[in-house]
């Protein structure tokens, strides 16, 4: 029976409208602008993390079979760190920045003030359902906004947990969670927001597709957006390096990060023909050391999120020109949604696996005759979120930095930059727009208001009509900063 | 006119030119900025002439608002370029042991700049300076509504610059639309919110970031506590920034004034005297006020005044010369708040003054007072705070590009700071924020998104690439699976920079809860 209550709980455009109106009303009271409100919310998040560590780990295990260590290190600890940094730095972040004023506007003083944007919408992804929800939320709170979080419906346990915990710990008049899928998201996107922050799991329907929907909805209200997307992040492996260390760092970034289901995990490797064999051997050896002889049983690997994604990945593997290229792994267990770490050597560039973002435990290796040729392969695709290079060659490093454009670049490691709060995290081109982490999160959710203070003294009449030649001359002198001309003009000598 | 095919292959050639890496070179960027400077310097007379033709701008005004500011901006960019281009070191946490991190600015690629007719040189070249400084290739589409300026930019500017990297394309909406269909790495637009929406929607196709410099109704609040000197300065500054900057056809021009009722008549009387003194008996003849850009805009302004209630509120000026597209500086007191004059951006030399005691209907604060049966204490307070009711008025409208407040009242300043939102906020002056290189210039909400000027222009056309470098020397052994609780504890320690805790773990003295 379709009860009345059920009908009422449908989250439609009208409900979304009521919700944003409520948020705006409370925001207008100015509550979020105070330092105290922001700090109290941030502290509550830390408390929530501490008190519900087990629940969060459990939810992540339910959604993704995520190993406990990964959940704690990459999600909980990262969230707590973000909070700790924000709590420590908030006063400094909130301080207006003094700006230098020039002769033309003299005498005056100026500053840049960070003010909250208003009501913001955060749409997060399923692969790091906790981190990717809380990390932007922390930025939005630190900047003093009212907000709605829409966690991904593809990680239902985490979504439900967030919807339960956030109202318990945070000010629910200003921080709301809306659970749901496409229709709920569309209802939210119809509303006017002051910022939309979207993290897109690369979907098999085409990366950036949802990002485009979000931006199109934002255009109606001239809402600025942050889009955290993905892309095919390449790893270039040069010869003459410590291959074991390189391999280990690649493995941790690829399979050690949610079994390849991370936006910055290595998507493919490019190496020289001579190097390839050594690299494959090393990968095999280390993978076995890490995950054992039967990786399908390993507790240290996440599973594939759902059967859609499982089917997408097997399709990539089963393509005719690809299936013969598997040199390691390839085992799958459909019932448990598990795919073993798989390495492919020499896949053609026109294959599906090289065209789409993989977002799973498959790692193709391309070979080139000269390592510099890898740059052209990377540049022929869209700009990735991350690009990795393993080399000891200084010149190659600089060349790589100059010619490869990506959200972030890591030399001699992978995924490490995610944990670095002093650099912005975000994409460029197809890998997204806008950035966050640390102070950059605060900035992403702040408006930088330019403020000028002038006094009534020292008014230069040269600004005002009637316009004369003398005024023009003096203005020119002021702008070109020619002291003698200024003096001469003022003295009426020129 | 060249066909679509021709355009597309031209643009592809420019993309190719960017890929060659030439524009990344610091020497290239410097030479282009210098070229821009020579253009401004050597063609100053032509620029003045074009502005006179398009908008009837006096050449001193043209110098003050366009040529002069551009000269300053180019010099500022040339001076700062090397510093801007250098990468910035970043601090690292312990987990990234023995690594270094830096932020490397890189050009976005191939960018499109669409500018506006009211400051056809300023609003075209100011973003161009940023795009060049950041090392992009670019197309500039000046507004077809300022044809003399557009043609000067299209025909002469390229001879001063590397024409494979900078192209000026003239044309109206059809050309604009065709350009918008191409793939860009950034679109920088100056104009109206209506077109801004079209631009952003078009940008979706290629996920192109946009900067939209729009406008809005920028209010100026005038407080009554000022001395007569302060009042005089205030009036001067208001008049010059309203009528003296392209006849009010500027995105940061004062749109309307909010003032306390008892002070209104003093202000109006003073304005009447000063406006005559500043612009003369016949401003069209003395050429101290620019004309309206075209007939369409002239009729729009005429329409704003046509309402009889609005007509009755005119206290100064009001005459219109359709043949010469000239509108006299006009001051109005309390036109109806629901008239188009007060709901649309004016963008012309009409200056409505709204008196604050006129506002109570809108002021939530006063409304509550009435509900509370006019409690005497509150009434007393409202009288004191009257000028502060302007905050409620301002907040009832979309966020403007700029707010101006003329006041010496520190408490009121603080309230304006924290309770209103706008692109910029200026105390005791107007429009000057445009000239400050150290301040970001840009709107919020309906007044736009993205910011530029000075270093911010460079940033707007740059991508800051995060670069982390490591050596092969060290690795925490506990960074790798198979996982166990021991590794977990150590990893937690590294992320928290908890050295002592890590030591305890290694010594076997600490265990997980």
Residues of chain A positioned with their CB less than 8 A from the CB of B436: 99, 101-102, 104-105, 110, 450, 452
- Cross-chain residue pair A463–B64, CB shorter than 8 Å: yes
- We report the CATH number of the domain holding residue B50 as 3.40.605.10
Q: Are A294 and A302 in contact (CB under 8 A)?
A: no
pLDDT at B392: 84
Locus of tokens 């900063």: A481
Q: Mean per-residue pLDDT for B117-136?
A: 97
What pLDDT is recorded for position A494? Answer: 43
Residue B188 has pLDDT above 50, yes or no: yes
Q: Which residue of B has its CA nearest to A461?
A: B236
**Which residues does chain A have within 8 Å of residue B214's beta carbon, measured at their own beta carbons?**
222
Q: Give the nearest chain B residue to A243 (CA atoms).
A: B472
Query: Is residue B478, in this structure, part of any structural domain at all?
Result: no
B165 and B207 part of one domain: yes
User: Does the beta-carbon distance from B68 to A475 stay under 8 Å?
Assistant: yes
B198 shares a domain with B223: no
Average pLDDT of the segment spanning A170-180: 96
Residue A489 pLDDT:
58
Question: Does A140 have pLDDT greater than 80?
Answer: yes
Has residue B453 got a pLDDT over 70? Answer: yes
Please indicate, yes or no, whether residues B180 and B241 belong to a single structural domain of this protein.
no
Q: Which residue has the tokens 């979304």?
A: A16
Tell me what pLDDT residue A153 has.
94
Is the CB of B495 less than 8 angstroms away from the CB of A409? Answer: no
Instruction: Tell me how close the Cα of B436 comes to any Cα of chain A, in angstroms.
Output: 6
Q: What is the mean pLDDT of the segment spanning B264-274?
A: 92
User: Given an 8 Å threshold on Cβ–Cβ distance, is B466 in contact with A425?
Assistant: yes
pLDDT band at A85 (very low <50, low <70, confident <90, very high): very high
What does the pLDDT read at residue A9? 67
Gyration radius of chain B's alpha carbons? 28
Q: Considering only CB atoms, which chain A residues are within 8 Å of B275?
A: none
Q: Would you name the residues of A annotated as active-site residues?
A: 228, 263
Tell me, what's the pLDDT at B484? 80
Confidence of residue A417 (pLDDT cuts 50, 70, 90): confident
Q: Please list every residue in chain A whose beta carbon sits closer than 8 Å to the beta carbon of residue B24.
A: 402
Burial class (CB in 10 A: 0-12, 13-18, 19+), B372: exposed
Q: Which of A208-212, A237-241, A471-475, B187-191 has the lowest mean pLDDT?
A: A471-475
> What does the H/E/C string look like for B158-200?
HHHCCCCCEEECCCCHHHHHHHHHCCCCEEEEECCHHHHHHHH
- Which residues are registered as beta bridge partners of A452? A110, B426
Contact of B7 with B178, CB cutoff 8 Å: yes
Max mean pLDDT range (B212-226, B337-351, B374-388): B337-351
Q: How far apart are CA A124 and CA A126, in angstroms?
A: 7
The mean pLDDT value for B289-293 works out to: 94
CB contact under 8 A, B495 and A78: yes
Contacts of B193 in chain A (CB under 8 A): 222
Question: Does residue B217 carry a pLDDT above 80?
Answer: yes
**Residue B263: both structure tokens together:** 């002070």
Helix or strand run (H / E) with residue B82: helix B68-85
Same domain, B138 and B37: yes
Ranges of beta strands (E only) in A128-259 are: 146-150, 175-177, 195-199, 225-228, 234-237
Q: Do residue B441 and residue A456 have CB atoms under 8 angstroms apart?
A: no
CA distance A408 to chain B (A): 4
Residue A407 is predicted with a pLDDT of 94
Per-residue pLDDT at B63 exceeds 70: yes
* pLDDT tier for residue B115 given thresholds of 50, 70 and 90: very high
- Taking residues A286-291, what's their average pLDDT? 94
B444 phi/psi in degrees, rounded to 5: -145, 145
| CATH number (domain holding residue B325) | 3.40.309.10
A234-426 — its CATH code? 3.40.309.10
Question: Residue B285: closest CA among chain A residues belongs to which residue?
Answer: A466
- In the prediction, which pLDDT does A104 show? 53
How far lies A438's CA from each of A83, A338, B98, B441, in Å? Answer: 9, 35, 21, 24
Q: Do B466 and A104 touch (CB under 8 A)?
A: no
Query: Smallest Cβ distance to B106: which of A67, A405, A425?
Result: A405
Please, which residues have CB within 8 angstroms of residue B467's CB and are 6 or more apart in sequence? A401, A408, A409, A410, A411, A423, B87, B101, B102, B103, B104
Average of per-residue pLDDT values in chain B: 87
* Nearest chain A alpha carbon to B24: A402
Measure the CA–CA gap between A363 and A283, rounded to whole angstroms: 11
CB contact (8 A) between residue B92 and residue A420: yes
Substitution target in B20, B58, B60, B202 with the highest count of A β-carbons within 10 Å is: B60
Q: Which of B204, B236, B492 sits opposite A77 (nearest CB)?
A: B492
The whole-angstrom separation of Cα A449 and Cα A112 is 5
The reported pLDDT for the residue numbered A20 is 95
Please check whether residue B243 is in contact with residue B331, taking contact to mean a CB–CB distance below 8 angstroms. Answer: no
Q: Check whether residue B183 and residue B254 sit in a common domain.
A: no
Report the candidate in A352, A346, A342, A417 with the shortest Cα–Cα distance to residue A386.
A417
What distance in Å separates the CA atoms of residue A396 and residue A384, rounded to the nearest whole number? 19
What pLDDT band is residue A471 in, cutting at 50, 70 and 90? confident
Kindly identify which residue of chain A lies nearest to residue B198, measuring between CA atoms.
A219
Q: Are residues B125 and B80 in the same domain?
A: yes
Instruction: With CB atoms and an 8 Å threshold, state whether A108 touches B24.
Output: no
Who wins on pLDDT, B375 or A213? A213
Kindly state whether residues B382 and B405 are assigned to the same domain. yes
Instruction: Determine, for residues A423 and B470 on separate chains, whether the beta-carbon distance falls below 8 Å.
Output: no
B273: pLDDT confidence band, cut at 50, 70 and 90? very high
What is the residue range of B37's domain? 23-214+455-464
Residues of A in Cβ contact (< 8 Å) with B209: 433-434
- Same domain? For B321 and B378 the reply is yes
Q: Is residue B447 part of a domain?
A: no
B475 within domain boundaries: no
**Residue of higher predicted confidence among A127 and B502:** A127
Does B490 lie in the same domain as B459?
no
Q: Where do the structural domains in chain A lie, given as residue ranges? A: 9-229+438-448, 234-426
Please check whether residue B222 is in contact with residue B412, taking contact to mean a CB–CB distance below 8 angstroms.
Answer: no
Query: Residues of B with catalytic annotation?
Result: 213, 251
Name the token pair of A463.
């600004």
Q: From the CA of B1, how many Å to the nearest CA of chain A? A: 31
Using pLDDT thresholds of 50, 70 and 90, give the confidence band for residue A480: low
The tokens for B464 are: 């800051």
Structure tokens at B480: 């790798």
Indicate whether B361 belongs to any domain. Answer: yes
Examine the domain organization and report whether B226 and B344 are in the same domain.
Answer: yes
pLDDT band at A2, cuts 50/70/90? very low
| pLDDT score of A201 more than 60 | no
Domains held by chain B: number: 3
Nearest CB neighbour to A423, from listed B24, B418, B466: B466
Q: Is A463:B240 a contact under the CB 8 Å cutoff?
A: yes
pLDDT at B361: 35
Which residues in chain A are contacts of B244 at CB distance < 8 A?
Answer: 463-465
Which CATH number describes the domain made up of A9-229+438-448? 3.40.605.10
Query: Do B208 and B228 reside in the same domain of the chain?
Result: no
Quick one: pLDDT at residue A477? 73
The answer to whether residue A445 scores a pLDDT higher than 90 is yes
Nearest to A466 among B286, B475, B488 (CB): B286
Asked if pLDDT for residue A1 goes beyond 50, the answer is no
Q: Which residues of A touch B441 (CB under 8 A)?
A: 450
Contact call for B437 and A420, based on CB within 8 A: no
Torsion angle of C-alpha atoms B483, B487, B489, B490, degrees rounded to 10? -150
The reply to whether B210 and B223 lie within a common domain is no
| Beta carbon pairs, A and B, within 8 Å | 307
Nearest to B168 by CA among B183, B153, B182: B153
Confirm whether B469 is domain-assigned. no
H helix or E strand, kind and range, residue B320: strand B320-321
* Percentage above 90 pLDDT, chain A: 79
Across the range A62-67, mean pLDDT stands at: 96
Q: What is the mean pLDDT of residues A165-181?
A: 96
In-domain check, residue B28: yes
Partner-chain contact B61 A251, CB within 8 Å: no
Give the mean model confidence (pLDDT) for residues A100-113: 72
What's the whole-number mean pLDDT along residues B161-178?
Answer: 95
Please, which pLDDT band fits residue B360 given cuts at 50, 70 and 90? very low
Tell me the shortest Cα–Cα distance from A327 to chain B, in angstroms: 22
Q: Which residues of A touch B471 (CB under 8 A)?
A: 412
**Residue A395: pLDDT band by 50, 70, 90 thresholds?**
very high
Alpha-carbon span A57 to A65, nearest angstrom: 9
User: pLDDT of B86-106, one tens digit each?
Assistant: 988 877 655 555 577 889 999
- Region of poorest pLDDT, from A131-140, A365-374, B260-269, B349-358: B349-358
Q: What is the pLDDT of residues B299-319, one digit of tens each?
A: 999 999 999 999 999 999 999
Residue B357 has pLDDT above 70, yes or no: no
């Amino acid at each position: 029976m379709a009860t009345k209550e059920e009908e009422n709980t449908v989250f439609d455009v009208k409900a979304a409208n009521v919700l944003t109106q409520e948020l705006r009303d409370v925001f207008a009271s100015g509550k979020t602008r105070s330092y105290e409100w922001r700090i109290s919310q941030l502290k509550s998040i830390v408390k929530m993390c501490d008190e519900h560590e087990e629940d969060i780990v459990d939810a992540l295990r339910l959604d993704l079979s995520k190993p406990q260590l990964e959940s704690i290190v990459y999600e909980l600890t990262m969230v707590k760190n973000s909070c700790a940094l924000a709590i420590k730095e908030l006063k400094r972040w909130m301080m207006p920045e003094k700006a230098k004023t020039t002769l033309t506007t003299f005498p005056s003083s100026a500053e840049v003030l960070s003010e909250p944007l208003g009501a913001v919408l955060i749409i997060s992804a399923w692969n790091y359902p906790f981190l990717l929800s809380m990390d932007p939320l922390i930025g939005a709170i630190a900047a003093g906004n009212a907000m709605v979080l829409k966690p991904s419906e593809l990680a239902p346990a985490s979504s439900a947990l967030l919807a339960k915990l956030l109202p318990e710990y945070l000010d629910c008049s200003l921080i709301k969670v809306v659970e749901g899928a496409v229709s709920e998201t569309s209802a939210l996107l119809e509303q006017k927001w002051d910022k939309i922050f979207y993290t897109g799991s690369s979907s098999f329907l085409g990366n950036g597709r949802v990002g485009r929907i979000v931006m199109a909805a934002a255009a109606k209200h001239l809402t600025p957006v942050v889009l955290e997307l993905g892309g095919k992040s390449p790893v270039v492996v040069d010869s003459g390096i410590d291959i074991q260390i390189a391999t280990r760092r690649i493995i941790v970034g690829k399979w050690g990060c949610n079994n390849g289901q991370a936006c910055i995990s290595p998507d493919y490797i490019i190496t020289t023909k001579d190097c390839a064999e050594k690299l494959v051997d090393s990968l095999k050896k280390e993978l076995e050391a890490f995950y054992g002889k039967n990786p399908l049983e390993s507790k240290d690997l996440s599973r594939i999120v759902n059967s859609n994604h499982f089917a997408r990945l097997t399709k990539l593997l089963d393509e005719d020109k690809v299936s013969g290229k598997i040199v390691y792994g390839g085992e799958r267990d459909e019932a448990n949604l598990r795919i073993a770490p798989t390495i492919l050597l020499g896949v053609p560039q026109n294959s599906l696996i090289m065209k789409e973002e993989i977002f799973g435990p498959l790692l193709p290796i391309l070979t080139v005759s000269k390592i510099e040729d890898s740059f052209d392969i990377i540049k022929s695709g869209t700009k990735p979120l991350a690009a990795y290079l393993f080399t000891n060659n200084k010149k190659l490093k600089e060349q790589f930095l100059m010619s490869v454009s990506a959200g972030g670049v890591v030399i001699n490691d992978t995924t490490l930059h995610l944990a670095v709060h002093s650099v912005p995290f975000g994409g460029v081109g197809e890998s997204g727009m806008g950035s966050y982490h640390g102070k950059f999160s605060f900035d992403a959710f702040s408006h930088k208001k330019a403020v000028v203070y002038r006094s009534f003294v020292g008014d230069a009449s040269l600004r005002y009509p009637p316009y004369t030649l003398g005024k023009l001359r003096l203005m020119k002198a002021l702008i070109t900063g020619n002291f003698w001309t200024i003096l001469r003009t003022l003295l009426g000598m020129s | 006119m060249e066909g679509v095919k021709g355009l597309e292959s031209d643009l592809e050639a420019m993309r190719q030119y960017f890929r060659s890496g030439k524009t990344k070179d610091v020497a290239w960027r410097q030479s282009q900025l210098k070229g821009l400077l020579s253009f401004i310097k050597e063609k100053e007379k032509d620029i003045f002439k074009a502005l006179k033709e398009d908008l009837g701008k006096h050449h001193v005004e043209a110098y003050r608002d366009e040529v002069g500011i551009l000269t300053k901006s180019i010099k500022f960019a040339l001076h700062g370029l090397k510093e801007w281009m250098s990468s910035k070191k970043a601090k690292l946490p312990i987990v990234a042991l023995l690594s270094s991190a830096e932020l490397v600015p890189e050009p976005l690629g191939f960018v499109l700049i669409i500018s506006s007719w009211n400051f056809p040189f300023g609003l075209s070249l100011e973003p161009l300076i940023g795009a060049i400084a950041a090392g992009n290739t670019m197309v500039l589409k000046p507004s077809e509504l300022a044809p003399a300026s557009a043609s000067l930019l299209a025909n002469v500017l390229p001879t001063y610059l590397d024409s494979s990297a900078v192209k000026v394309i003239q044309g109206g909406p059809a050309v604009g639309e065709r350009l918008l269909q191409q793939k860009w790495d950034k679109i920088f637009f100056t104009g109206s919110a209506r077109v801004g929406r079209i631009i952003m929607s078009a940008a979706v196709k290629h996920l192109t970031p946009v900067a939209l410099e729009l406008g809005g109704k920028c209010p100026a609040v005038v407080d009554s506590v000022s001395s007569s000197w302060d009042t005089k300065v205030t009036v001067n500054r208001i008049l010059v920034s309203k009528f003296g900057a392209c006849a009010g056809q500027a995105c940061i021009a004062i749109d309307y004034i909010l003032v306390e009722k008892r002070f209104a008549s003093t202000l109006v009387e003073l304005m009447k005297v000063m406006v005559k003194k500043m612009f003369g008996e016949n401003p069209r003849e003395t050429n101290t006020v620019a004309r309206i850009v075209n007939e369409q805009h002239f009729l729009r302004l005429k329409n704003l005044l046509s309402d009889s209630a609005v007509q009755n509120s005119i206290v100064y000026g009001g005459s219109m010369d359709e043949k010469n597209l000239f509108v006299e500086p006009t001051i109005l007191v309390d036109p109806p708040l629901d008239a188009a004059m007060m709901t649309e951006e004016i963008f012309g030399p009409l200056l409505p003054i709204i008196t604050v005691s006129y506002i109570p209907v809108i002021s939530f604060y006063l409304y509550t007072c009435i509900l509370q049966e006019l409690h005497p204490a509150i009434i007393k307070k409202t009288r004191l705070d009257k000028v502060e009711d302007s905050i409620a008025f301002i907040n009832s409208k979309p966020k403007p590009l700029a707010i101006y407040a003329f006041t010496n009242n520190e408490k009121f300043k603080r309230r304006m700071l924290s309770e209103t939102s706008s692109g910029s906020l200026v105390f005791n002056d107007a429009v000057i924020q445009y000239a400050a290189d150290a301040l970001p210039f840009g709107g919020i909400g309906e007044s736009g998104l993205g910011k530029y000027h000075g270093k911010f222009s460079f940033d707007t056309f740059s991508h800051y690439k995060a670069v982390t470098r490591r050596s092969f020397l060290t690795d925490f052994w506990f960074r790798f699976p198979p996982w166990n609780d021991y590794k977990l504890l150590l990893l937690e320690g590294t992320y928290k920079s908890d050295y002592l805790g890590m030591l305890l773990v290694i010594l076997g003295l600490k265990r997980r809860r």
